[in-house]
Homo-oligomer: A and B are copies of this chain.
Amino acid sequence: MFLWPVRVYYEDTDSGGVVYYANYLRFLERARTEFLRSLGFEQDRLIEEEGLIFVVRSVNIDYLRPACFNDRLLVSAVPGEPTGAGLRFSQRIWRADDLTGPSEDSNIDETKCLCRAEVRVVCLDRATMRPRRLPEAMKEILE
């Protein structure tokens, strides 16, 4: 499972003492971006060379336990089966200290995650802003 580390800074928190609810969406996107990068897809090149851009169509997110200032988090990004122009990600955020041992699948405890999200992304043609099929190379890797 792809996991991306995120450190919580003051910028991410609010005066309630925890991470502001919108900022978890920033963390989720960092993990999706780094997941695609780990497969060899750089989004600035996808825009420039192929004229395509990814936009988020929907987010369903459950906030289970709060993250706090200075926490070390791990954010997962697990893609679902791609469908034409669309891509689904199932994502979780854990506190790193809540996971035991190396961050391998067997150590991931679903019950301990801080938040849980399903994110639907779609690939658009940048010029027309209409849906476009995912790049073939991306589709093959994800299947």
Q: Which residues of A contact B (CB under 8 A)?
A: 7, 9-11, 13-18, 20-23, 25-26, 29-30, 33, 42-44, 53, 55-63, 66, 68-70
Question: Which residues on B sit within 8 Å (CB–CB) of A9?
Answer: 26, 29-30, 33
10 new A-B pairs (CB below 8 Å) besides A9-B29, A58-B60, A59-B61? A9-B33, A10-B15, A11-B26, A13-B15, A15-B17, A21-B56, A21-B59, A25-B25, A43-B69, A44-B69
Complex copy number for this chain: 4
Closest to A124 in B: B16
CB distance from A113 to the nearest CB of B (A): 14
Q: How far is the CA of A59 from the CA of B53 in the complex (A)?
A: 24
CB <8 Å contact, B21 and A69: no
CB <8 Å contact, A68 and B25: no
Question: Which residues on B sit within 8 Å (CB–CB) of A68?
Answer: 15, 44
Q: Among B10, B44, B61, which residue has its beta carbon within 8 angstroms of that of A14?
A: B10
Q: How far is the CA of A22 from the CA of B18 in the complex (A)?
A: 17
Q: How far is the CA of A33 from the CA of B16 in the complex (A)?
A: 14
Q: Among B15, B16, B44, B62, which residue has its beta carbon within 8 angstroms of that of A57?
A: B62
What are 25 contact pairs spanning A and B, CB under 8 A?
A7-B30, A9-B26, A10-B15, A10-B29, A11-B26, A11-B29, A11-B30, A13-B14, A14-B14, A15-B69, A16-B53, A21-B29, A21-B55, A22-B23, A22-B26, A25-B25, A44-B68, A55-B63, A56-B63, A58-B60, A58-B61, A58-B62, A59-B60, A59-B61, A60-B60
